[in-house]
Structure formats: structure tokens, C-alpha cells
Amino acid sequence: MKYYSTNKKAPIADLHKAVVKGLAEDRGLYMPEIIKKLPKEFFDNIEKFSFQEIAYQVADAFFGEDVDADSLKKIVYDTLAFDCPVVEVEPNIYSLELFHGPTLAFKDVGARFMARLLQYFVRQEGKEEVNVLVATSGDTGSAVANGFLGVEGIHVYVLYPKGKVSKIQESQFTTLGQNITALEVDGVFDDCQALVKSAFMDEELNKHMKLTSANSINVARFLPQAFYYFNAYARMKEKGLADKLVICVPSGNFGNITAGLFGHEMGLPIHRFIAANNANDIFYNYLQTGEYKPQPSKATIANAMDVGDPSNFARIYDLYKGNHDAITAYISGATYKDDQIAETMKQCYNDTKYVLDPHGACGYRALKEQLKPGEVGVFLETAHPAKFKEKVDSILGSDIEIPARLAEFMKGKKQSIEMTKDFASFKNYLMNE
């Protein structure tokens, strides 16, 4: 499979280059030249397959030309050592629970897959260490750090905004040591993301060390997230509820919903998508006006969605060839302020006893407001509510239990390096590593 840049000015890349490089030379995002349709028989029988069997078929369509079958199967099965179940919250509204992995967030799927695929390529090369740069607004850092922890030949640098991630999230990537370094940036998520992108474009730095990204700009991070959309469809088909299935995705950097849209292009019969934003409503405004206007990100209680210039908008725009009508025909939007998110969490808990995290609450509310007669909705519950325990407890007036594996992270000692948002300082640090 060949990959081109969304900016159309960089050389065509193979999968190896797209994964190891992360970002194209013209600062564009890599896109596969072909999105293969899966056969009708696959969808006719999909409910009979396990999550891992489904995911392997999807992975083979993207990566099968570049990774041998046995290695790809091992990568997929190792990645999905946990389930992503669909759970009924109330009639016609279901939660796709993506928090059953090691760091209790949806990004475990993409991060674990990418770690294993990158190691596959590193072993083929058998020499130079690869340095992974990842900006995080919360869950990406923990998922990537734990997905890559102890992987030989790879060092991970996690850049996160000081004071703007939860204590539990912070503990998941600042307490690990080994091949994981946490950089505490005096700024917001967009500053962290800008540092990562600038690093890839710096010729001197790239001569000094081999760099790649584990953010959703990397094809090996965002494409595997298509796996659980196929699984959600299969599990809903088992229930006889897949005819008019609406998927609602809490959206920040838009890698997650983009993976779902790729699934649809492969033939997955999702009726339509809803992109649910917090107060960072850049995509919502684009849907209304046709104009994409990035803004400085705003801090909210759904912090993983605090993104003012979502990178993967470029992929959505490219996928639909810039046709605003085509995008709005298939994707609708929603935007909620903090008080609305909190109100939704309380309402859902009081009515159903289901505990939403602040991000899932955006997805649940958008379905409640936009689901039409005859449709069934699935929203993505992207992280375990205990990752935001202080907020959730104060909103619900409860004391939710912290899962044992999450509590273990809290016992570790924080190790981080403070960093300004100035690229010269960041570059100087890496040049001396």
C-alpha cells in the first residue's frame, strides 16, 4: 500500500516510511492511496466472528501487503487482549465501552497496535533507535507510554500541558521510567502538538535522531481504531439492531471518528455519524458554515477533547474531496459547555445508574438530542470515569471505585522534566539527549 500526503507536495511513501516518519515532509498527514472494500460475505456473517477475527480482516485490508500474515495476526491478537463490549444504557442507546484496556481508555487499541507494528519495522532494520514523540491532552500519553513500555529499540517522549491533565492521567505516564520520558510543557495541548510537528520539520534534529509520532497523525495509530467500529456493528447485529445504526463519537483531534469514516468507506453499513464536541467547537462551526477556523483551545472538564486545531480534519476533508455537502450529509455535530456536560452526567446516572465520564457524556447527550425514529444509537465511552474521579464524584455526589490497575499507577513516583513551549528549548533538549 502506498501513502500520499494530504498537502499533496510530498513524495509517495510506503507503510514503513509512513509509520516511522509519522508526518509527511510537507507537514501533511499520510493517507492510503486505496481504501479497500471488504466483501459482502464478511458483513453478512460478521456477527459470527470474534473481535479479534474481525480486526484481523480489517487490518489485512490496510496492512496485509506490507506485513506477513503470521506477524500481522500476532500484532492484532496481542493488541486486542481485552474486549470492547457494547452495553445498553437505555432503550435504543448503547455505550461502546473502550476502557477495558491497560490504561482504561480507547487509545489503548491504536497505541498497542502501533507499538507492535513499529517494533516489527525496527527489528527488520536492526539498528538505529527510534524516538517516539507524542503530545497528549490526557489519555494518549498514558496509552502510548504503556503500549511502548519496555519495547526494545524505541524511546518515547510524552509532551503534556502542565496542570491540564488529571492526576490519575498524569500518573500513568510520569511514573514509568525505563524508555518513557515525560515532558511537562508550560502551555496548552496545542502548544505540545506544535512542538511535535516542528520537531519533524527540523532538518538538523532529524539528522541527530530518528523521530516518529504516536499521535493520531500516525497512520498506525488511527487506522486500527476502525477495529472497534466493526465490532460494535457485529455486536449490534447480533441483537438485531444494526439496520439504522448511528455512531456518536466524542471528538477532539478527530482521529477516532476518522477511523470510523474509513470503516464506512470499507463498506461498514453505519447509517450516519455524529461528532460531539465540548466548548472547542471548531468542527461544529465548520459543519454549519463551511469555513474551518482554528481557535486557541479552551480548557474544559472533558479535557481530552480540548483541541482548537484538530489535525485529522485534514483527513476528513481529503476523504470527502473537500465537499462540504458530502461531509454534512453523513456527519452532524454537537457542542456542549461544561455545565451541560455535568448536567448530562447527573441525568444519566439518576435515570439509568450508568456512570459516564465527561467525554462519553457529550456522546450520550448528542444521541439523546439527535436520534430519529427508527434509529439506534451507539456512543463511544472513551475512558473509564475513574480516570476523572474528582470531577465525576463532585458532579454525581458519589464515590466511584478506582479499578485496581488504575490505583497501581497512583503509587508510583512522578518523574517529569519541565519545558517551555518554545521550540528552541525543546530542540536543545533533544539535541543533547
Q: In what order do the strands lie in the sheet with 272-277?
A: 86-90, 93-97, 376-381, 245-250, 272-277, 331-335
Between the alpha carbon of residue 135 and those of residues 128, 160, 311, the distances in Å are 23, 6, 12
Residue 195 cell numbers, joined: 512542538
Distance (Å, whole) CA 154 – CA 145: 11
CA nearest neighbour of 219 among 352, 327, 75, 114: 114
Is 107 among the residues known to form the active site? yes
In the chain, how long is the greatest CA-to-CA distance? 60
Task: Let me know: does 336 contact 365? Beta carbons within 8 Å.
Answer: yes
Instruction: Kindly name the residue from 2, 9, 74, 107 that is annotated as catalytic.
Output: 107
Q: How big is the CA angle at 363 (ends 362 and 368), to the nearest 5 degrees? A: 100
* Residues contacting 41, CB < 8 A, separation 6+: none
Between the alpha carbon of residue 195 and those of residues 96, 174, 190, 202, 270, the distances in Å are 33, 19, 9, 11, 36
CA nearest neighbour of 1 among 70, 68, 61, 73: 61
* Residues contacting 17, CB < 8 A, separation 6+: 3
Distance (Å, whole) CA 265 – CA 93: 24
Query: For 191, how many CA atoms within 13 A lie in the half-sphere containing its CB?
Result: 17
**Residue 315, number of CB atoms within 10 A of its CB:** 26
* Residues contacting 404, CB < 8 A, separation 6+: none
**Residue 321, number of CB atoms within 10 A of its CB:** 8
Instruction: Please identify every residue annotated as catalytic.
Output: 107
